[in-house]
A = this chain, B = another copy of it.
Amino acid sequence: MTNKSTNIKDVAHLAQVSTATVSRYLHGELKRMAPTTAKKVAAAIEQLNYVPNAAARQLITNRSKTVAIVVVNVADSFSTEIFKGACSVLEPAGYTTAMLDTNSEQQKENQLINAVGLSTYDGLILQPLSSDVAQIKSEIRRSMPIVTLDRHLDYSPWPQIISNNFEASQEAAKYFQKHGYTRAIVLSSQIDVASTRQERFQGIKSVYQQVELIEINETHYNHQQVYCQLEKLLTASSEKTVIFSLKERWLIEFLPALIGSGILAAKNIQISGFADTTLVPAIWPSAKMIIQNPYKMGALAGQTLLKLLNNKQDIQPITTIPTTFK
């Protein structure tokens, strides 16, 4: 058990160094002291059986060396790739990165942002649910370096990293129109709640005046009902048709049954949409997908946050990471 009365001053006194030196030692900044100094500090910690009190240490250094990454859904590979990308930059810089999950719930996003503000994190990378800058600001009760990504925020005070959602789906739609696909069916989660979906939908509508839309409520939907709706649309016409999913999940969920039913093979149907993995072409090789690069977005968000943490000036307000179509 820890000797509760031992503190960083006792260690500094015994080692005959400053408390700042002990703090540097505890943070692993060994390059900033002579090897003999490090040895003296280690010996003093050992002798006193000293266990650093994180809260006390942070009062001294005013740095926790931890960063929070608040994502929309840890079950989506898009979110976990953002996290892995950010880790790839922040960890070599000495930061521990923690992922927090809003589970696509606005109320939970508010709570988590508030909790991050009240906690000891040095910075925040946020994949926001809504586009309401005022709401986010009101939850953060202190000044703190923040970078947002994925969903675009208007008039944001924080740097943001986004995909070219509109251009990417416009380009894809143009490709299919050029190849004789006269009809477009769009599969999507509720469009009006996310700026990314709005941009993607607008990109398609800028090419196809008429779009048949199946909008799925993510938390309350009946699989069989959605499938029947899709099947009915597909069998209603013999036109060349592209099914365009604004979210990979819906293709992964409905494609196997469509393949099983034989409709896809029998008809002139092309599969497309946004994807974060290679699952769709693995199931249906002729699918042509728009691939985002969430890992790169996360890495760039990490780099930008590091600049903010180190008070660097050359920070772009908005950086767009292009998608690929293949």
Contacts and interface: CB of A to CB of B under 8 A. Distances in A.
A99 interface: yes
Interface in A93-122: 96-101, 103, 112, 115, 118-120
Contacts of A55: 55-56, 58-59, 64, 120
A6 B219 CA distance: 44
B80 A74 contact: yes
A141 B52 contact: yes
A100 B99 contact: yes
Nearest to A115: B96
A279 B260 contact: no
A51 B101 contact: no
A26 B118 contact: yes
A83 interface: yes
A157 interface: no
Contact of A99 (B101, B115, B143): B101
Contacts of A9: none
Interface residues of A, number: 47
B142 A2 contact: yes
A296 interface: no
Nearest to A60: B55
Nearest to A74: B80
Given A52-B141, A143-B1, A84 B103 contact: yes
A285 interface: yes
Contact of A83 (B84, B101, B257): B101
A77 interface: yes
A68 interface: yes
Nearest to A75: B80
Contacts of A64: 55, 119-120
Interface string A221-252: 00000000000000000000000000000001
Interface in A46-104: 51-59, 64, 66, 68, 74-75, 77, 80-81, 83-84, 87, 96-101, 103
Contact of A84 (B57, B75, B99, B143): B75
A46 to B, nearest CB: 12
Nearest to A52: B118
A117 to B, nearest CB: 8
A282 interface: yes
A309 interface: no
Interface centre among A56, A100, A118, A253 (most CB of B within 10 A): A118
Given A74-B99, A84-B103, A252-B279, 5 more contacts: A56-B59, A66-B115, A75-B81, A87-B103, A96-B119
